[in-house]
Structure formats: C-alpha cells, structure tokens
Amino acid sequence: MTTALAPWPAPTADAPVTATVPVPGSKSLTNRALVLAAQAVAPSLIPAPLRSRDTDLMAAALRALGTGIESAGPGGRDWLVTPAPLAGPAHVDCGLAGTVMRFLPPLAATATGPIIFDGDEAARRRPMATVLDALRALGVRVDGDRLPFTVHADGRVPGGTVRIDASASSQFVSGLLLSAPSFAGGIEVRHEGAAVPSLPHIEMTVQALRGVGVRVDDATPDRWRVEPGPVQPWTSTIEPDLSNATPFLAAAAVTGGTVTVPHWPAATTQAGDAIRGLLTAMGARVSIGPDGLTVSGPDRLRGLTADLHDVGELTPTVAAIALFADGPSRLTGIGHLRGHETDRLAALAQDIQAVGGRVDEAPDGFTIHPQPLHGGPWAAFADHRMATAGAIVGLRVPGVLVDDVATTAKTLPGFADMWTRMLGPAVA
C-alpha cells in the first residue's frame, strides 16, 4: 500500500504502451452540477458523477448547508440531490479544492447563519479576496480574506453589478455566476484587468447554467450577466474528465504506443480537449471516432511552442512530454499557475532538474531543453497533476520516485492502479 512515507516507483515501460483506458467523469462538471442542483426547484439525478476527494468535499459541504445528497441508481453510481433551504451554522472543509473554496461562498451567502470555511494548510495560501470582496460589494458580511473565513448569511443577496480582477483564476467568475440565479437581482460580473485565464472553464459554467434553464448573457467580452429565476433539475451527462485523460494519452506519445480513451465527446467545453492539437503539433497521430480518442506516438517527438493561457491545467502533462522531444519547448501564458495547488511552474522546474533536466524559468512560463535524464525524487507538492507528470517521466526514465502518488485521489482515485493496468506487459 502506497503511503506518504513510501515513495511510489513510477513504472518504466520496456515496450510501446498499447491500451484502452476508460476515464471517470469530469470533476469540473460534477461540482458545477452539484451547486446548480442544490438550487433547483426539484430533485436532480446526476448520472455517474466523479467520486473523488474534490467532489466528495463539495457534496459534504452542501450536505452541511442542508442539501440532501445520496447515492442512487444501479450500483449507487449516481447522486440524487434534493434541494432544501440552506442554513448554518455550518463548517465547510474545502480541502485543497479550488471549486469548493471559490464556488460555495456565493451560495452560502444565500443561506442563513454563520458559515465557516477552512481547508488544508496549502489552501490557506491560495488567493480568495477577489470573490470575497465581490460578495461584500453585494452586501454580504464576510470576515477574513483567505481561509479560514466566515460568511454571515441573512438569507438574501440583493445581487447587482460587481467589478473584479479575475486574472488570477477563472474560478472567481464561475463561482459568482453559478449562484447568481438565487440572488434577488441576479448578477452582472465585469472583469477589469489582465486576460482571464482558463476561459473554457467559464464557458463550461455558462453552458451548465443554460442547461438548467438559466438565462445568461455573455455576448460582451469580460462581461457576464445571469438573470435571477428558477433553476431546473440537472439532467445532463457527466463527460469523462479530459484533463485526467491526458497522462494516459501522453503514455502513447512518449513510448511510441497507442492509447484510446473511450467516450471522448465530439464537442465539449473542457480544457482537456486541447490536448488533441498539442499532441498533433508534437508529431503524434490523433483521431476521434466511435471508439473514442486514439493517440499513437511518433518515432520522434517534436519540440513545441505554445501559449497555454486558456488550458494551463495541461502544463504538467505537456512539460513531461516535452522532456523527450527532439528540441526545446517553450510554454507561455501560464504565470497564473503560480497560484494553483502549488506554484506549478517552480515545482515543475525543481522536479525536472532533480532528474537531470534543464528548464529556463520565466515569470510567465518556461523553456524546456531536452537532455539525458536519470532517476531521482519527484515531489508531488500535494498536487495531483504534479504526481501524474512524474508518472509520465517514469515511463522512459528508470528510478523516478513520486513522493505522494496518493494525492491523485483529489480528482482521480485509483490512478496508480489504472496506470499499472494500462502498462500491462509493457511494464519493466
């Protein structure tokens, strides 16, 4: 059994990886579905949601506020969400989940009573003032600017127009929009500042709202208007988590193998879908069809120049692949990753250097210069995507030791077992 005290030896592949890897549902869609279902006019049955630390934390937080959430359907694989008046006093454990700490305070403001938010030690360092100051501008009393903080709810948020700087995270916009149907006057969010990162996540939020009958106007850049009104029950399918799928596709790219992820959607708002173009640019063969998305690795990977501003969550996967390219890769537009679970840019640079790699770090990204690598420690920094990046590197580099592979349970429980099954006879 892997523990935090026993580093995980990342398996090395001695042959091209060939596998079909089903991937569980999207964390981003699951947590949006939960927040909207908690506001609905009738119970919702969320089909096959992701069950992970982040989604379990969201479900537990909503239960603490009075929402009924229980397993349902064949094998208990679905969630039945029964709305109820939200009320404190309550304590919300955010763990390290940005969707919990940034999506739930606006919803908590529509409840009654004091609601305390706290989380993991690393979560206490993540920026929160943007959404909390927005709530204050809407007339909500909030004590604190980072975790732990307390929302003093009186059962009504007037709504209106707020101006925020969401250049650190798109979650600040999504968090306000998701609860706006329950504000008396809805909300208009105006972003003022540098470009908002990860815009596909805001598009996901807009589509989720429209899917439950909420009127949203996003015709003007950097401005979103959500009308107040009833929320219909959630009925949409939860797509596979495409970002969680990318390490498995990367296995095909770096070993010259072929990996298929079933049920890849033909059209989606998930940022993970961008892996198709990135892998193609690096020389992989990518196709989508009835069996899903299939990636076949090339004889030689090409270096890449890419602005990942809108799809920053793919950076650890792309960086790991880039270590095995035939030339440098320059990844830009990702300065906002310094405020994620960890400073992902500094963390990636540290880990790459620990196994013999060379990285030129910049405020907005870095350049990776491929060269011979060797085994060594790979720190996860309590960050699920850092851990999976170490697994990718280990496919080609014997002796990579990931210090905390269990942190992948944040969004993908059982990752280590899935990884081993994928390798099958190709594992050394």
Q: Which residues are catalytic?
A: 313
Q: Is 344 annotated as a binding residue?
A: yes
Q: Is 182 annotated as a binding residue?
A: no
Q: Is 126 annotated as a binding residue?
A: yes
Q: Is 421 annotated as a binding residue?
A: no
Q: Is 410 annotated as a binding residue?
A: yes
**27: helix, coil or strand?**
helix
Q: Is 27 annotated as a binding residue?
A: yes
Would you state the structure tokens that stand for residue 327, as one six-digit string?
């030339």
The secondary structure of residue 210, as a DSSP letter, is: H
Cα–Cα dist 373/271, whole Å: 30
Q: Is 243 annotated as a binding residue?
A: no
Q: Is 179 annotated as a binding residue?
A: no
Please, are residues 83 and 107 in contact by the beta-carbon 8 Å criterion?
no
- Strand 292-296 to 258-261 pairing: antiparallel
Cα–Cα dist 226/186, whole Å: 6
Query: Which one-letter amino acid corresponds to residue 4?
Result: A
Most distant CA atoms of the chain, gap in Å: 62
Q: Is 52 annotated as a binding residue?
A: no
**336: helix, coil or strand?**
helix
Cα–Cα dist 18/301, whole Å: 18
Cα–Cα dist 255/283, whole Å: 13
- Strand 160-164 to 187-191 pairing: parallel
Cα–Cα dist 186/216, whole Å: 10
Helix (H) or strand (E) holding 2: none
Q: Is 198 annotated as a binding residue?
A: yes
Please, are residues 153 and 116 in contact by the beta-carbon 8 Å criterion?
no
Q: Is 171 annotated as a binding residue?
A: yes
Going by C-beta distance under 8 Å and a sequence separation of 6 or more, which residues neighbour residue 122?
A: 96, 341, 342, 382
How many other CB atoms are there within 10 angstroms of residue 300's CB atom?
12
Residues annotated in the binding site for 3-phosphoshikimate, as ranges?
27-28, 32, 169-171, 198, 313, 340
Residues annotated in the binding site, as ranges?
27-28, 32, 98, 126, 169-171, 198, 313, 340, 344, 385, 410
Residues annotated in the binding site for phosphoenolpyruvate, as ranges?
27, 98, 126, 171, 344, 385, 410
